[in-house]
């Protein structure tokens, strides 16, 4: 066989292999991005549907629920959150999710009481359903159990 023809066949097969490899990688990456986006949408929908209250808050191994009496939280799809105390908005802050490391964050203003300041920062999402969220503070290790009202 002519060396020119043989080279052309080899180059053609190599090009096909490279194209197939690139398409496979693209499909894999795209599929993972779609799965990631679906999961993030699911978590976002859970948080923005209805009001939440603190079921338990564990700090340094001590469970404290009484400091959260009268509080509920409304997370909005514009990434704001209202801390509602005894039926009235006490303070507004921001929140967000990061599905890459399965976390969410909350940030209330510096002038809020010490109870609300405990929610500030990044929280590792441990488990959830449409009616509860369990999370651990990324720095302090505090544990938070939110319950849908």
Q: Which among 38, 62, 56 has a CA at the least distance from the CA of 133? A: 56
Give tens-digit pLDDT for 26-66.
555 556 666 566 666 777 888 999 999 999 999 999 999 99
Q: Please give the Cα distance from 114 to 32 (Å, whole number).
A: 40
Which runs of consecutive H residues, i.e. helices, occur in the chain? 3-48, 114-117
Q: What are phi and psi of 21, to 5 degrees?
A: -60, -45
Q: Which one has a higher pLDDT value, 97 or 25?
A: 97
In this prediction, residue 25 has a pLDDT band, given cuts at 50, 70 and 90, of: low
The strand pairing partners of 46, in sequence order, are none
Q: Which residue has the tokens 């302090």?
A: 140
Q: Domains for the chain: give ranges and CATH numbers.
A: 44-148 (2.40.128.270)
DSSP class of residue 79 equals S
Residues 6+ apart with CB under 8 A from 61: none
What does the pLDDT read at residue 95?
96
């Amino acid at each position: 066989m002519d060396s020119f023809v043989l080279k052309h066949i080899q180059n053609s097969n190599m090009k096909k292999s490279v194209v197939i490899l690139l398409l496979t990688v693209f499909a894999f990456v795209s599929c993972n991005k779609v799965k990631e986006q679906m999961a993030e949408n699911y978590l976002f929908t859970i948080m923005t549907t209805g009001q939440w209250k603190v079921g338990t808050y564990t700090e340094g191994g001590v469970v404290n629920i009484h400091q959260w009496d009268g509080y509920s939280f409304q997370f909005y799809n514009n990434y704001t959150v209202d801390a509602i105390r005894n039926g009235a908005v006490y303070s507004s802050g921001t929140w967000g999710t990061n599905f890459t490391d399965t976390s969410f964050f909350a940030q209330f203003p510096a002038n809020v009481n010490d109870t609300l300041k405990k929610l500030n920062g990044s929280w590792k999402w441990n488990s959830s359903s449409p009616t509860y969220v369990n999370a651990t503070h990324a720095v302090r290790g505090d544990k938070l159990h939110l319950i849908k009202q």
